[in-house]
Amino acid sequence: MSTEHTARTSTRVPVGHSASVPGINESVLFAGCPEVIGTPFSYAREEEVYGEGEEAEFVYKVISGAVRTHKVLSDGRRQITGFHLPGDLFGFEQGACNRHTAEALTNTKVLIFKRRQVERAATGSAEVACQLWGMATNDLRHAQDHMLLLGRRSAAERVATFLMEVDERLGGTGTFALPMTRRDIADFLGLTIETVSRTLSQLEEGGALRRVGGRQVILRRARLRRVVED
Amino acid sequence: MSTEHTARTSTRVPVGHSASVPGINESVLFAGCPEVIGTPFSYAREEEVYGEGEEAEFVYKVISGAVRTHKVLSDGRRQITGFHLPGDLFGFEQGACNRHTAEALTNTKVLIFKRRQVERAATGSAEVACQLWGMATNDLRHAQDHMLLLGRRSAAERVATFLMEVDERLGGTGTFALPMTRRDIADFLGLTIETVSRTLSQLEEGGALRRVGGRQVILRRARLRRVVED
DNA sequence: CGGGTGGTTGATAATTCTCAATTGTTGTGG
DNA sequence: CCACAACAATTGAGAATTATCAACCACCCG
Same domain, B114 and B179: no
| Res. A16 pLDDT band, cuts 50 70 90 | low
Same domain, B123 and B43: yes
- Contact of A148 with A102, CB cutoff 8 Å: no
**A110-166 pLDDT, tens digit each:** 999 999 999 999 999 999 999 999 999 999 999 999 999 999 999 999 999 999 999
- Please indicate, yes or no, if residue A60 is contained in any of the structural domains: yes
- Please indicate, yes or no, if residue A137 is contained in any of the structural domains: no
- Please indicate, yes or no, if residue B142 is contained in any of the structural domains: no
Residues A22-39 have a mean pLDDT of 68
| Res. A35 pLDDT band, cuts 50 70 90 | confident
Which of B72, B8, B75, B79 has its CA nearest to residue B45?
A: B8
What are the backbone dihedrals phi and psi of residue A212, each rounded to the nearest 5 degrees, phi first?
-125, 100
Q: What is the pLDDT of residue B1?
A: 46
- Please indicate, yes or no, if residue B9 is contained in any of the structural domains: no
Q: What is the pLDDT of residue A10?
A: 58
The nearest CA of chain A is from the CA of B89 a distance in Å of: 14
Question: From CA B79, how far away is CA A151, in angstroms rounded?
Answer: 6
- Please indicate, yes or no, if residue B58 is contained in any of the structural domains: yes
Q: Among B128, B143, B164, which residue terminates a domain? A: B128
Question: From CA A99, how far away is CA A71, in angstroms rounded?
Answer: 7
Same domain, B52 and B123: yes
For residue B85, the domain's CATH number is 2.60.120.10
**Looking at the predicted structure, is the pLDDT value of residue B48 above 50?**
yes
Q: Among B93, B128, B163, which residue terminates a domain? A: B128
Q: What's the per-residue H, E or C state across chain A?
A: CCCCCCCCCCCCCCCCCCCCCCCCCCCECCCCCCCCECEEEEECCCCEEECCCCECCEEEEEEECCEEEEEECCCCCEEEEEEECCCCEECCCCCCECCCEEEECCCEEEEEEEHHHHHHHHHHCHHHHHHHHHHHHHHHHHHHHHHHHHHHCCHHHHHHHHHHHHHHHCCCCCEEECCCCHHHHHHHHCCCHHHHHHHHHHHHHCCCEEEECCCEEEECHHHHHHHHCC
Question: From CA A94, how far away is CA A186, in angstroms rounded?
Answer: 24
Interface test with A, best of B68, B148, B191, B230 (most A CBs within 10 A): B148
Same domain, A97 and A168: no
- Please indicate, yes or no, if residue B137 is contained in any of the structural domains: no
**Is B92 within 8 Å of A132 when comparing Cβ atoms?**
no
Question: From CA B25, how far away is CA B5, in angstroms rounded?
Answer: 34
**Protein CA at A46 to nucleotide C1' at D13, angstroms:** 48
Same domain, A50 and A116: yes
Ordered strands of the B48-50 beta sheet: B48-50, B101-104, B67-72, B78-84
Bases of chain D below 7 A from a protein C-beta are 8-13, 17-22, 26-28
Same domain, A51 and A95: yes
Q: Please list the residues that pair with B35 across neighbouring strands.
A: none
**Protein CA at A182 to nucleotide C1' at C6, angstroms:** 8
For residue A157, the domain's CATH number is 1.10.10.10
**B175-199 pLDDT, tens digit each:** 999 999 999 999 999 999 999 999 9
**Would you say the C-alpha torsion B200, B201, B206, B210 has a positive or negative sign?**
positive
Same domain, A189 and A114: no
**Looking at the predicted structure, is the pLDDT value of residue B214 above 90?**
no
Using CA atoms, how far residue B9 sits from A137, B52, B107, B156, B179, in Å, is: 27, 11, 19, 36, 24
**B1-28 pLDDT, tens digit each:** 444 444 444 567 766 554 444 443 567 7
Which residues of chain B lie closer than 8 angstroms to A133, CB-CB? 122, 129, 132-133, 136
Same domain, A192 and A112: no
Q: What is the pLDDT of residue A17?
A: 52
Q: What is the pLDDT of residue A3?
A: 41
Q: Among A95, A128, A161, which residue terminates a domain? A: A128
- Strand D contacting residues by CB (7 Å): A 1, 154-156, 190-192, 194-195, 213-214; B 178, 181-183, 193-194, 196-198, 200-201, 211, 214-215
Q: How many domains does chain A have?
A: 2
Using CA atoms, how far residue B27 sits from A159, B113, B121, in Å, is: 46, 10, 15
Same domain, B224 and B191: yes
| Res. A212 pLDDT band, cuts 50 70 90 | very high
Residues A73-102 have a mean pLDDT of 92
Same domain, B155 and B119: no
**Looking at the predicted structure, is the pLDDT value of residue A24 above 50?**
no
- Please indicate, yes or no, if residue B21 is contained in any of the structural domains: no
**Would you say the C-alpha torsion B195, B77, A188, A193 has a positive or negative sign?**
positive
Which residues of chain A lie closer than 8 angstroms to B99, CB-CB? 141, 144
A190 to chain B: nearest residue by CA?
Answer: B151
- Please indicate, yes or no, if residue B123 is contained in any of the structural domains: yes
**Looking at the predicted structure, is the pLDDT value of residue B210 above 60?**
yes
**Is A152 within 8 Å of B79 when comparing Cβ atoms?**
yes
Same domain, A121 and A159: no
**Is B151 within 8 Å of A73 when comparing Cβ atoms?**
no
Boundaries of domain holding A162: 151-229
Same domain, A47 and A121: yes
Q: Is A169 exposed, middle or buried (0-12, 13-18, 19+ CB in 10 A)?
A: middle
